[in-house]
Structure 1
Amino acid sequence: MHATSHLKPVTLLALLGWACALPARAAEPPADPVQPLWSLNGFGTVGLAHSDQHAGDYVFDNLQPSGTGRNRQWTGDVDSRIGLQLTANFTPQLSGVVQLVSEYRSNNRYQPLISWANLKYALTPDLSVRVGRIGLASFMASDSRRVGYSNMTARPPIEVYRLLALKESDGVDASYRTHFSGFSNTTSILYGKRTVTNTRGIDVHSTAVMGVFDTLERGPLIVHAAYQQRDVDNQNPPRGRFMSLGAAWDPGPWFVSGEWVRVSNYDGKRVQALREAWYVNGGMRFGTLAPYVTLSELRPLTDTGNIPVAQRTYAAGLRWDAARNVDFKLQWDQLHLGSNSYGTLQNVVAGTPRGGHVNVVSVLADFLY
């Protein structure tokens, strides 16, 4: 059953109030060190976004068919979602997880999607294997990109996170964790396949999805690296490649992070599109308030003969942790589109001048339950 295509502002404001009243008990780990057989947790975001560009839509990624700007002055479709996660601990070694998320999708509807569904077997405390639908650790925020409460900003920078539409893989992976000099390092390898439906209703099949991911942690430091390749049926040659490197430092009173990605794909006519993106983000905490700023950029490295996708974004925001497991965020983004580009805008009206600035204001509430 499909939900309504778009969230009305009145509905969103009602949900904002409801989010504040949510109990937080399920989001915290149980006091009993013995893990329960079943546990159910949830998360969600209720948001409104407004763009001053009326000739094109601001969207989070290219799987959203419309956004704010041309189609609607205010919309909740850019950020709003709700999710449930069921975890089962069958034995100390065998566990399973299913995550269900409803968000604005490529078919112009809100409908549930099984984002994770896998079984995990721990051969040792540091070596494990999984089989099923597995989230790809392509970015630092891959596991939390849909969990707004886990992100300091309104959303991960779109210049970086829109470059890979593939978020999950149906297959297997293995992870191994090592410990040395106070560091913890987790390396995982993955193999699988996945089909993604684009905004034109076309199924894009990715096969031979292979990835190597590494995360190094020590105290407030996290360093993450990823390499991924896959064969895509609408490319010639089919091989697409993705690599990323990121780091975050969060000692508590302040925080800073950055990430860099490079993506290589081909169209159906053997034309390579090589793109690069990065961001840096930082902020400070003053009690329950955390102001922050972000600078991000996306630029093409090859000339494909098409209108390039190039832009730089300056963002500033404020996060307020109003209650246990509830936050509110206010964020302003100013997109500087490339001089010969519409940037990441979609549904651009024919004849619209290229380049220029776009201002986006977002108000969100994130919650766990």
Structure 2
Amino acid sequence: MPNAVDSAGTFQPPETGQAPRLTLNAFGTLGMAKSSQDRADYTFDNLQPFGVGRHRNPSPDIDSRLGAQLTANLTPQLSALLQVVSEYSWDGSYRPAVTWANVSYALAPDLSLRLGRIGIASFMASDSRRVGYSNVTARPPIEVYRLLVLRESDGIDARIRFSTGDFKHDLSVLYGRRTVINTRGQHVHSTDVGGLFDTIEHGDFSLHLAVEGRHVDNQNPPLGMFYSLGATYDPGRWFISSEWVRAVNNDAKGLKITRDAAYVLTGIHIETLTPFASVSELRPRSDTGQPPVAQRSYAAGLRWDPMRHLDLKIQVDHIQLSSNSYGTLQNVTPGTPRGSSLNVLSLMLDFFY
């Protein structure tokens, strides 16, 4: 599968060789989606105020974005990174935002420290979720990837690479804080954000593990936890990947809310074409006394790479909402029946350079 960024959030240069002193990369997605449901909005994550369906149908908002990343290799040990992304955000604008801004110092060839705004490796596709070219599908499965809105941390992390036998580890620990603005314009403060992450590789197989905790000011008690486990097998001709996550939070009244989500994705590479299919599910693990946020999605699509650094995708999602649930739909029109289903058609062009 294409991968334009490595596990440190650094773009892979198009050509091999010694890294230049200053590198500017650009990436973007031009997307359009259409939904069969016109009484509610289908969104990629819950920081998007509107989506496709009720407010705009078709809509370019849930997938379209433009980003740039500047990497400066100041010395053999010291580098700096700045990433700016323009995408549909909480206030309905495409105002550019600084997503990553950090400096990295290599204490040894396989040990480094970073300080600043750092991407959190919560998922297998955390570093590439905004780089559509790096993803085979139109977007990472929303059932899994919308369970954690915290994508970056302002703080510090340490990263070490080592081997145990034939297994290569990329291990990091992180500590920091971050404020996220939700669609109501409220500032949600996360402090004491801590995490342990490990990517393990053995031949064509890779495994990703993450454990995170944080204090959130709108929870009672404030502690929130997140766990994920993902695996990929990619021998070249075909691939299969799967990911499981669990989010544990508390509401303002002290009620514990636990949700699980998982997906399985597979595809085949046929020259410049990659047909793929996936199934994903979000389900509650605790009874809150309220209608559950639960759904299952089936997706199928085709990726075409007509030239280097550019792809075209078409994807159809069938979303089945669980009984008595609106699932992840937002801005639902009063009186809309629960437990229904919808289809979403997505077309997009991704580029990376």
Q: Same fold by TM-score, threshold 0.5 exceeded?
A: yes
**1:292 aligned residue (276, 279, 283):** 276
Residue in 2 that maps onto 1:191: 175
**2:315 aligned residue (328, 331, 339):** 331
Aligned pairs for 1:45-56 within 5 A: 45-56=29-40
Distance 2:14 2:56 in 1: 40
Residue in 2 that maps onto 1:82: 66
Supply the AA of the counterpart residue of 1:47.
G
Query: Aligned with 1:115: secondary structure?
Result: strand
Residue in 1 that maps onto 2:221: 237
Shift of 1:217: 1.1
Residue in 2 that maps onto 1:136: 120
Query: Aligned with 1:159: secondary structure?
Result: helix
RMSD: 1.1
Write the deviation string for residues 252-278 of structure 1: whole angstroms up to 9, x where unpaired: 110100000000011100011100000
> If the length of structure 2 is used for normalisation, what is the TM-score?
0.95
Query: Aligned with 1:111: secondary structure?
Result: coil
Aligned pairs for 1:180-329 within 5 A: 180-329=164-313
Write the deviation string for residues 291-334 of structure 1: whole angstroms up to 9, x where unpaired: 00000000011111222100000000000011111000000000
> How much identity, in percent, do the aligned residues show?
59
Q: For residues 237 and 27 of structure 1, do their structure 2 counterparts lie closer, same or farther at Cα, with a shift above 3 Å needed? A: closer
Gaps of 5+ in 1: 1-25
Supply the AA of the counterpart residue of 1:318.
L
Query: Aligned with 1:225: secondary structure?
Result: strand
Supply the AA of the counterpart residue of 1:55.
R
Aligned pairs for 1:25-44 within 5 A: 28-31=13-16, 33-44=17-28
Query: Aligned with 2:95: secondary structure?
Result: strand
Shift of 1:110: 0.4
Distance 1:303 1:199 in 2: 26
Distance 1:220 1:321 in 2: 22
Shift of 1:73: 1.2
> If the length of structure 1 is used for normalisation, what is the TM-score?
0.91
Shift of 1:30: 4.2
Distance 1:215 1:27 in 2: 18
Distance 1:182 1:46 in 2: 41
Write the deviation string for residues 38-87 of structure 1: whole angstroms up to 9, x where unpaired: 10001000000000001100000000000111111100101000100000
Distance 2:12 2:142 in 1: 27
Q: For residues 260 and 27 of structure 1, do their structure 2 counterparts lie closer, same or farther at Cα, with a shift above 3 Å needed? A: closer
**1:171 aligned residue (155, 159, 177):** 155
Query: Aligned with 1:248: secondary structure?
Result: strand
Residue in 2 that maps onto 1:22: none
Task: Tell whether the 8 Å contact from 1:27 to 1:368 is kept in structure 2 after alignment.
Answer: no
Supply the AA of the counterpart residue of 1:169.
S
Distance 1:84 1:221 in 2: 30
Distance 1:127 1:347 in 2: 47
Shift of 1:219: 2.7
Supply the AA of the counterpart residue of 2:178.
R
